[in-house]
Amino acid sequence: MTSDALKTEFCGVPMATPIVLLSGCVGFGEEYTRVKGYSNADVGAVVLKGTTGDKRLGNPPHRICETPDGMLNAIGLQNPGVDTVVDEILPGLDFSETRFFANVSGSTIEEYERVTRRFDDSDIDAIEINISCPNVKEGGVQFGNDPEMSARVVAACRALTSKPLITKLSPNQTDIQLNARLCIEAGTDGFAVINTLMGMAIDSETRRPVIGNVRGGLSGPAIKPIALLKVQQVYEVAAKYDVPIIGQGGITTATDAIEFIIAGAAAVGVGTALFYDPLVCKKINAGIADYLERHDLPSVKALVGTLEV
């Protein structure tokens, strides 16, 4: 049972808590339901694994490497393709438990359009546009690090759906505020800030990259200070247009989540922490509820963007 104070909404979608499970961390929404004590009812929304037009096998191994206070991953958008996801996976999800957001990925604008069109004709609650994936060799990085290209992808997807669009912004770019503004003008309804940072690891004995893809996305507590700064920067732009943000990057505790909300996040994303504590969401919910009560705040929304500088 979650506290009423935790109830919120994101882009008009009602959520039982501000916690969003991040794309790629829980498969297509069913993986963690097999963990004893876990329930999707404890989270506000689940973002499904990145989905492309056709089936992808992903990158060669190794795909994951543990790092100090984090991990590198280069899965490479392995997925069965959008038709399989819509026709075979979505019907098996329990939409009475939580909200489900699709994650649209592609190598071309035409592929983004194809996947968005398919999800538009489904029960999915919102669509996240993944224009910033650092662990594939084409598509994501180029789109996400160029504000003009980012806006073109958003505009193309906007023309094909009335569902809420959430643009996932890259930290690996020069001006995230410009990118945010252009995406708002192109029609995004919300942001996910941030995606993983680009990184690599080397095996000193073999003198070869540990990751088969050479580079991968760095996530976990190590990136939290960067993620917090990017959320605050994007909030300075997005707040003027009443565009909400999912803050994400290294959240493992309720205190982490609260910091992101203060910085401007209307919801908070949890990902890497799930790998070593599958029940962490219950603890984060309890901590946020306790904080709201101690500070006499009626809701999560009352805390959003309250940073004093």
Active-site residue list:
133
DSSP-assigned states of every residue in 209-255: ESSTTS-EEEESGGGHHHHHHHHHHHHHHHGGGT--EEEESS--SHH
What lies within 8 Å, CB to CB, of 277 at 6+ separation is 252, 283
219 vs 186: CA distance, rounded Å: 28
Q: At what angle do helices 254-263 and 224-238 cross, to 10 degrees?
A: 30
DSSP annotation of 44 reads S
* Ranges assigned E (strand) in 16-88: 19-21, 45-47, 64-67, 70-73
User: Residue 91 class from Cβ within 10 Å (0-12 exposed, 13-18 middle, 19+ buried)?
Assistant: exposed
Query: How far is 241 from 22, CA to CA, in rounded Å?
Result: 24
Cα separation of 158 and 45, whole Å?
21
- SS3 assignment, position 13: strand
Question: Coil, helix or strand for 62?
Answer: coil
Query: Strand 45-47 to strand 99-104: parallel, antiparallel, or no bridges (unpaired)?
Result: parallel
Give the separation between CA 287 and CA 293, rounded to whole angstroms.
10
- Tokens matching residue 98: 């939580």
Rounded Cα gap, residues 252 and 229, in angstroms = 17
